[in-house]
Chain A
Amino acid sequence: MNEVKIKSNNLNVFYGDKQALFDVNLDLNEKEVTALIGPSGCGKSTFIRCINRMNDVIDICKVTGNIEIDGVEINDENLDVVSLRERVGMVFQKPNPFPKSIYDNISYGPKIHGKGETKSELDEIVERSLKKAALWEEVKDRLDEPGTGLSGGQQQRLCIARAISVNPEVILMDEPCSALDPIATAKIEELIDELKKTYTIVIVTHSMAQAVRVSQKTGFFHLGKLIEVGKTEKIFKNPDNKMTQDYITGRFG
């Protein structure tokens, strides 16, 4: 068992008057893939958006409780979210490359964090990130073409490359394959398997099969509560909770 990287403690999230998460206590292990499953609107995405403080963007959103990364509290007003997000990258449901060249998509992050001072350093980061995202062979000859011109699956891998370009410790993935076809999905899953050697990965997914394939640990959310969490094998073969059992066998969803 790997060490705990992220630890949430009595995490509550409110959107205005509506409570979206109720006392979530969840530990995420280093260099492991944790899958979060549950019906739509159950708070999975809300939870991972707490880890890189993406909920700050929403005015009416209020977060109480604690989240620690490597033992350091991040749900703290004085924390600099920029350096937090440098450590915690994110990949969204819909591929959202910048309408710029492939090269600029990748080099943007390192540039604003001062990680690539010279052109050759940036070139190297771009190549390394694209290779890690298994996209290099497909795009190496057209780095100056717009990222939005790639296929959906390539765009999503470009977004993954963009996320790893700043060399984060954690990558959050919010249903990264829901807009992709099965072949593109398979490529991303393969990639996730590879990436977990270096990064701590949290993935929200609606596909049970995907959770089984890619994750070591699974958490089941329902109506804002974390119902059950455990080793993926156990959750899918022999869950403790009746609700989990019902959900994974497709009795509700």
Chain B
Amino acid sequence: MTKEQRLKKRHSAERRFRFYGIASICVALLFVLILVNNIFSKGSSAFMKTVIDVEVFYDPELIEIENGASEENIREADFYDITIETLLKSYPAKNLDEENELIDLFTTDAEIEIKKAFLENNNLIGKKINLEITSSDDIDQLHKGNYPRDLPEDRRRISNFQLKIYDTLVENNKINKNFNNYYFNNGDSRDPELAGIGGALVGSFYSIIICLLLAFPVAVLASIYLEEFAPKNKITDFIEININNLAAVPSIVYGLLALQILLATIQLPRSTPLVAGITLALMTLPRIIIPCRASLKAVPPSIREGALAVGASKFQSVFHHVVPLSLPGTLSGTIIGLAQALGETAPLILIGMVAFVVDIPSTPIDPSSSLPVQVYLWSESAERGFVEKTSATIMMLLSFLIVMNFIAVYLRQKFEKRWN
């Protein structure tokens, strides 16, 4: 081969390699784009809800309380008749079937919403106010354009009569979209329009805090001891290998472990953030120890020698110099470990967090859900409303993860020292 041929071959090899690199980046970006686009297009509508404007008349003949009644009395009072009366007034229905179909356009919590408006303004008896009542899931999806209208009636959840009411309401500007406060404030529900991630958020928050409190100190102390103080021998080698192995153990195995030990043997309460936090801490421990040791190792030995040479003890050289210098790496490793724990589903399913929990947990020992498990639960539900809720919850989860990773990167870049 002549010199020119070799040169040509070398150049074309470089060009080829550059092309492969760019091509693989493009493929990766394409997948990310598809994922993000898919989630956003499905999920973003969940942050809005459809409301129907109705006129409520707090008819003194239909409620047994008077103006100025105590809050407790109002809460116990029956607003059912007023609710039915109000809903029926929104459109003329001719018979009982039509009346039922009309009422079905509204959420099952319409009575609670009407009562809530009354609670906020205690002297409404005998007065009329305009109120925006949340629509049922079917109308919500129809209004958001997720519901096909051109199917034959027997294959639709919405009857022709309901469609007619809907069209009239739209014509009269009675249907609007509002911010979906239920999505953030409520726990899970069988009715998609009422279901929210409030319970899952609180559950995830408690779990992660417990995970942090348990895993962080143990991981940091273990890594400092192993990296700085432990003698290098067969036993510490064995421990090191096993820490690396533990980080690779599938998370569902930790779930089984927790099921056997925490639930069956110690009898901790099932489905609770407490158990979830302990399980996640077990899982996260090796995943924090590894970056923590790496950042301790990254502190140059000359710093240790410098400290020892002026007469610092081993303990002083480690805690005055090495540990503070390794802190940015340690913290970012911890945050990334926690972000992984936040997205973990399998072990939580095994410890019973997959249960249907309506109430928002007030303590870590109340049954609760968590964000990834909520995604799993809703993704299996048949109602159309849960499709957008699933995607919206994935969006919430992803944004938490992005924020956590961003903090990790920021900490590392901001506080990392240059050695020389």
Give the CA-CA distance A17 to B306 in the complex, in Å.
28
Is the beta-carbon distance between A99 and B417 smaller than 8 angstroms?
Answer: yes
Count class of interface residues, chain B: 20 to 34
* B304 sits at the interface (CB 8 A): yes
- In residues 61-113 of chain A, which contact B (Cβ within 8 Å)? 82-83, 85-86, 89-90, 92, 94-99, 108-109, 112-113
Q: Which of B63-71, B96-104, B169-177, B307-315 contacts A (4 or more CB under 8 A)?
A: B307-315
CB distance from A155 to the nearest CB of B (A): 8
Is the beta-carbon distance between A98 and B311 smaller than 8 angstroms?
Answer: no
Is the beta-carbon distance between A98 and B303 smaller than 8 angstroms?
Answer: yes
Query: Known contacts being A94-B302, A99-B325, A99-B417, is A59 close to B232, with CB within 8 Å?
Result: yes
The digit string for A148-169, where 1 denotes a CB below 8 A from any CB of B, is 1000000100010011011000
Residue A90 contacts which of B232, B309, B321, B420 (CB distance < 8 angstroms)?
A: B309
Interfacial chain B residues near A112, Cβ < 8 Å: 310-312, 316, 320
Give the CA-CA distance A208 to B238 in the complex, in Å.
48
Is the beta-carbon distance between B310 and A166 smaller than 8 angstroms?
Answer: yes
Count class of interface residues, chain A: 20 to 34
Is the beta-carbon distance between A59 and B310 smaller than 8 angstroms?
Answer: no
Q: Which residue of B lies closest to A85 (CB)?
A: B311
Is the beta-carbon distance between B232 and A163 smaller than 8 angstroms?
Answer: no
CB distance from A144 to the nearest CB of B (A): 16
- In residues 199-220 of chain B, which contact A (Cβ within 8 Å)? none
- In residues 267-293 of chain B, which contact A (Cβ within 8 Å)? none
CB distance from B325 to the nearest CB of A (A): 7
Is the beta-carbon distance between B309 and A92 smaller than 8 angstroms?
Answer: yes
CB distance from B301 to the nearest CB of A (A): 8
CB distance from B20 to the nearest CB of A (A): 41
Is the beta-carbon distance between B309 and A148 smaller than 8 angstroms?
Answer: no
Is the beta-carbon distance between B310 and A92 smaller than 8 angstroms?
Answer: no
The digit string for A31-58, where 1 denotes a CB below 8 A from any CB of B, is 0000000000000000000001010010
Is the beta-carbon distance between B311 and A113 smaller than 8 angstroms?
Answer: yes
Residue B309 contacts which of A54, A95, A155 (CB distance < 8 angstroms)?
A: A54
Give the CA-CA distance A171 to B315 in the complex, in Å.
23
CB distance from B309 to the nearest CB of A (A): 4
* B167 sits at the interface (CB 8 A): no
Query: Known contacts being A59-B231, A112-B316, A148-B417, is A96 close to B305, with CB within 8 Å?
Result: yes
Interfacial chain A residues near B309, Cβ < 8 Å: 52, 54, 85, 89-90, 92, 163
Is the beta-carbon distance between B310 and A57 smaller than 8 angstroms?
Answer: no
Give the CA-CA distance A52 to B420 in the complex, in Å.
25
Give the CA-CA distance A54 to B309 in the complex, in Å.
8
Interfacial chain B residues near A89, Cβ < 8 Å: 309-310
* B419 sits at the interface (CB 8 A): yes
Is the beta-carbon distance between B308 and A54 smaller than 8 angstroms?
Answer: yes
Interfacial chain B residues near A166, Cβ < 8 Å: 310-311
Interfacial chain B residues near A163, Cβ < 8 Å: 309-310
Interfacial chain A residues near B321, Cβ < 8 Å: 98
- In residues 292-344 of chain B, which contact A (Cβ within 8 Å)? 300, 302-313, 316, 320-321, 325
Interfacial chain B residues near A82, Cβ < 8 Å: 311-313
Query: Known contacts being A59-B231, A99-B325, A108-B320, is A92 close to B313, with CB within 8 Å?
Result: no
Interfacial chain A residues near B417, Cβ < 8 Å: 99, 148
Residue B311 contacts which of A92, A109, A155 (CB distance < 8 angstroms)?
A: A109
Is the beta-carbon distance between B310 and A109 smaller than 8 angstroms?
Answer: yes
Is the beta-carbon distance between B419 and A162 smaller than 8 angstroms?
Answer: no
Is the beta-carbon distance between A92 and B306 smaller than 8 angstroms?
Answer: yes
Interfacial chain A residues near B313, Cβ < 8 Å: 82
CB distance from B45 to the nearest CB of A (A): 51
Interface centre among B310, B320, B419 (most CB of A within 10 A): B310
CB distance from A169 to the nearest CB of B (A): 13
CB distance from A246 to the nearest CB of B (A): 33
Give the CA-CA distance A82 to B307 in the complex, in Å.
11
Is the beta-carbon distance between B316 and A98 smaller than 8 angstroms?
Answer: no
Query: Known contacts being A57-B304, A92-B302, A92-B306, is A83 close to B325, with CB within 8 Å?
Result: no
Using a CB–CB cutoff of 8 Å, the interface residues on chain A facing chain B are: 52, 54, 57, 59, 82-83, 85-86, 89-90, 92, 94-99, 108-109, 112-113, 148, 155, 159, 162-163, 165-166
A selection of 16 A-B contacts at a CB cut-off of 8 Å is A52-B309, A85-B309, A92-B306, A92-B309, A96-B300, A96-B305, A99-B303, A99-B417, A99-B418, A108-B310, A112-B320, A148-B418, A148-B419, A148-B420, A166-B310, A166-B311
Using a CB–CB cutoff of 8 Å, the interface residues on chain B facing chain A are: 231-232, 300, 302-313, 316, 320-321, 325, 417-420
Give 9 nearest A-B pairs by CB, closest first: A96-B302, A109-B310, A90-B309, A86-B311, A85-B311, A99-B417, A96-B306, A82-B311, A82-B313
- Contacts A82-B312, A82-B313, A112-B312 aside, 15 further interface pairs with beta carbons under 8 A come to A54-B305, A89-B310, A90-B305, A94-B302, A96-B300, A96-B303, A98-B321, A108-B312, A109-B310, A109-B312, A112-B316, A113-B311, A148-B419, A159-B306, A163-B310
